[in-house]
């Protein structure tokens, strides 16, 4: 079984415009570095949204089919309070309730292919009730937190959610690492996730993106916390820049944690502009390390699906 353990669905009005433009600024810089041609972020934003916008998740399923991905885990994003909220008047995009309802609808539309977490900022009124509803009524897998919106994972405001996760027996996936403006990655450093994991040893916490540039800290924290996992979603830029760097970090993660706590993810669909899902999956299934870094077939099978299947009880 091949599992994309970390993916999103974007379309017009799905997320704060400030975030979408922030992604476009990053993308424009990457295009300029590669081609030497300057591209206006606004132009790239329109082009990418037109190609990658996916309001009914049908494109995602098509990309999964191309890549040989059997199941994908959707992660609704809630970082509005770090972008354009509070705002005067109605926001011209989905509310967090509507976004989570839509993701739940996707799982019903594509049963056995798409699964979803409940994503919410713990500071929102009614957030805890929404989390419980997502798990108990909509069949969602766990809780997704995005602390770059302005809160720390070990802030007391989060603890009722971890207690609920413990009670309901579901994992908590927390973003860690880089993000475009106006979001602030400092809130997502792995040591703060570790602090929460220390207080709730019965809850499984997933450090998303293996902390990106904080990957050493992420592995160091997880080494002494069996309830800490990592995913390697969103590492396409590192792979494109230096495949050996990516394979070195992936090898280190497997060596330190074991393959059963390391998971593949695309972080799509915005990352598709860096590497198409089928090519990203291929980079894992058939590693071509210039320096000869290698993986066993059993390790590859585990990180590209087995670990997620074990975590979610699919096997």
Confidence bin at 293 (pLDDT 50/70/90): very high
Could you tell me how many helices (H) and strands (E) the chain has, helices first? 13, 9
pLDDT in tens, 181-221: 899 999 999 999 999 999 999 999 999 999 999 999 999 99
Write out the CATH class of domain 3-311: alpha beta
Residue indicated by tokens 């972080």: 267
- Give me the residues paired with residue 230 across strands: 207, 262
**Average pLDDT of the segment spanning 227-254:** 97
Do the Cβ atoms of 14 and 94 come closer than 8 Å?
A: yes
> 48 or 188: which carries more pLDDT confidence?
188
Dump pLDDT digits (tens) for 141-183. Answer: 999 999 999 999 999 999 999 999 999 999 999 999 999 989 9
Q: Are strands 262-263 and 3-7 parallel, antiparallel or unpaired?
A: unpaired
Neighbours of 164 (CB within 10 A): 18
Using a pLDDT cut of 70, give the percent of the chain over it. 99
What is this structure's pTM?
0.95
Domain ranges of the chain: 3-311
Residue 88 — pLDDT band, cuts 50, 70, 90? low
**Cα distance between residue 304 and residue 72, in whole Å:** 11
What backbone torsions phi and psi does residue 282 show, to the nearest 5 degrees? -65, -35
**pLDDT of amino acid 96:** 94
């Amino acid at each position: 079984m091949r599992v994309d353990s970390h993916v999103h669905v974007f379309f017009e009005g799905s997320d704060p415009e400030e975030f979408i433009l922030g992604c476009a600024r990053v993308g424009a810089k990457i295009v300029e570095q590669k081609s030497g041609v300057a591209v206006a972020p606004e132009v790239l934003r329109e082009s990418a949204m037109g190609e990658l916008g996916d309001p009914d998740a049908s494109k995602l399923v098509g990309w999964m089919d191309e890549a040989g991905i059997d199941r994908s885990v959707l992660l609704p994003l809630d970082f509005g309070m770090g972008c354009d909220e509070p705002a005067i008047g109605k926001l011209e995009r989905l509310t967090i309730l509507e976004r989570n309802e839509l993701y739940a609808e996707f799982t019903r539309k594509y049963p056995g292919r798409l699964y979803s977490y409940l994503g919410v900022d713990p500071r929102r009124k009614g957030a805890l009730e929404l989390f419980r509803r997502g798990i108990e009524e909509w069949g969602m897998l766990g809780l997704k937190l995005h602390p770059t919106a302005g809160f720390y994972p070990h802030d007391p405001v989060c603890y009722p959610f971890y207690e609920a996760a413990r009670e309901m027996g579901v994992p908590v996936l927390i973003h860690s690492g880089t993000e475009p403006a106006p979001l602030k990655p400092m809130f997502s450093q792995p040591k703060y996730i570790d602090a929460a994991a220390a207080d709730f040893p019965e809850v499984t916490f997933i450090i998303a993106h293996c902390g990106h540039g904080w990957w050493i800290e992420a592995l160091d924290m997880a080494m002494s916390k069996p309830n800490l996992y990592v995913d390697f979603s969103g590492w396409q830029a590192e792979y494109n820049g230096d495949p050996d760097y990516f394979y070195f970090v992936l090898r280190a993660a497997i060596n330190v944690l074991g393959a059963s706590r390391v998971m593949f993810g695309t972080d799509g669909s915005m990352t598709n502009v860096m590497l198409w899902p089928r090519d990203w999956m291929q980079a894992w299934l058939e590693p071509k390390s210039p320096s000869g870094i290698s993986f066993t077939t059993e390790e590859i099978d585990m990180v590209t699906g087995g670990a997620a299947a074990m975590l979610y009880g699919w096997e």
